[in-house]
């Protein structure tokens, strides 16, 4: 993890791009990064992402690319040209796809003179528990499955993985301090679980070894999102 980057990434999971940009205008790039996922990207296209990048935000493009190697490579190159700070691909896409994505990001960054974005692999979605994994043919428990996919991503030269903070200690032990761990499924103590099967608080995620915490509803659904973000940063030891 680069200490100059905010640890909290606010998930702008909005269907209305203007609503997402309205919240982004209230936030400070020094206090958080921003995540743009499928819903917002489909609704608004790349322009909201460019707007955020131009205003100095670290943008995590969370589109979870998973396709044949050439298609994923082209998508990763396009994301690099937009200027995102981080993007992700599915580790289950296999070795050839992961290497094609890595090579495309590196080559496009060099060609355009941009800093190379972080390329992160998705392992097991936080909505999948052991029963759900078995239902789709994965006999390993969630922890061992994540470990296997994380090892593949590391071997293919990716920068880290998206994983639950529950798996973070094992990932940190297996892959060391330079392998970035990005954790979704963050909820405040006492909050509803919503659609996440494996969740943790921000403090617990940080203690478990997570580098970056993707936090949506506890901030975006708060009466005062700026204050909610400030409180989380304060709890993480990073006051505004």
pLDDT digits (tens, 9 = 90+) for 159-173: 999 988 888 999 999
Higher pLDDT, 188 or 79: 79
- Confidence check: pLDDT of 2 > 70: no
Q: Given this model, what pLDDT does residue 192 score?
A: 53
Name the percent of the chain lying above pLDDT 70: 93
| pLDDT for residue 88 | 98
Please give the average per-residue pLDDT across 84-103, as a whole number.
Answer: 97
pLDDT for 238 equals 75
Tokens of 80: 């690099």
Question: What value does the mean pLDDT take over residues 82-98?
Answer: 97
Mean pLDDT of 209-229: 96
Report the residue count for the chain: 240
Check if CATH label 3.20.20.70 holds for domain 8-235.
yes
Structure confidence at residue 194 (pLDDT): 53
Average pLDDT over residues 78-105: 98
User: Residue 196 pLDDT > 60, yes or no?
Assistant: no
Which position among 35, 38, 64, 99 bears the catalytic label? 64
pLDDT digits 0-9 by tens, 37-79: 999 999 999 999 999 999 999 999 999 999 999 999 999 999 9
95 band by pLDDT with thresholds 50, 70 and 90: very high
Q: How would you write the chain as a 3-class SS string?
A: CCCCCCCEEEECCCCCHHHHHHHHHHCCCCCCEEEEEHHHHHHHCCHHHHHHHHCCCCEEEEEEECCCHHHHHHHHHHHHHHCCCEEEEEHHHCHHHHHHHHHHHHHHHHHHCCCCCEEEEECCCCCCCHHHHHHCCCCCCHHHHHHHHHHHHHHCCCCEEECCCCCHHHHHHHHCCCCEEEECCECCCCCCCCCCCCCECHHHHHHHCCCEEEECHHHHCCCCHHHHHHHHHHHCCCCC
Q: Where does the pLDDT of residue 199 fall: very low under 50, low under 70, confident under 90, or very high at 90 and above?
A: low
Which pTM does this prediction carry? 0.91
Q: Is pLDDT above 90 for 224? A: yes
Task: State the pairing for strand pair 59-65/180-183.
Answer: unpaired
Catalytic, 38? Answer: no
């Amino acid at each position: 993890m680069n200490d100059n980057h905010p640890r909290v990434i606010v998930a702008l999971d909005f269907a209305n791009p203007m609503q997402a940009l309205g919240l982004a205008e209230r936030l400070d790039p020094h206090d958080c990064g921003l995540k743009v996922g499928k819903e917002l990207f489909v609704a608004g296209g790349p322009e909201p992402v460019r707007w955020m990048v131009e205003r100095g935000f670290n943008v995590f493009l969370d589109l979870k690319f998973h396709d044949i190697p050439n298609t994923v490579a082209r998508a990763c190159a396009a994301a690099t040209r937009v200027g995102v700070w981080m993007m992700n691909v599915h580790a289950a896409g296999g070795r050839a796809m992961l290497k094609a994505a890595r090579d495309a990001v590196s080559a496009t960054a060099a060609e355009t003179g941009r800093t190379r974005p972080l390329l992160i692999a998705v392992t097991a979605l936080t909505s999948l528990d052991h029963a759900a994994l078995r239902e789709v043919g994965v006999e390993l428990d969630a922890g061992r499955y994540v470990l296997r996919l994380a090892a593949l991503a590391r071997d293919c030269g990716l920068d880290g993985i998206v994983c639950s903070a529950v798996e973070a200690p094992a990932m940190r032990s297996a892959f060391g301090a330079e392998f970035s761990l990005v954790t979704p499924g963050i909820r405040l103590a006492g909050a509803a679980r919503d659609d996440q099967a494996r969740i943790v608080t921000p403090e617990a995620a940080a203690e478990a070894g997570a580098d970056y915490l993707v936090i949506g509803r506890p901030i975006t659904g708060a009466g005062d999102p700026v204050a909610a973000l400030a409180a989380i940063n304060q709890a993480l030891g990073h006051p505004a």
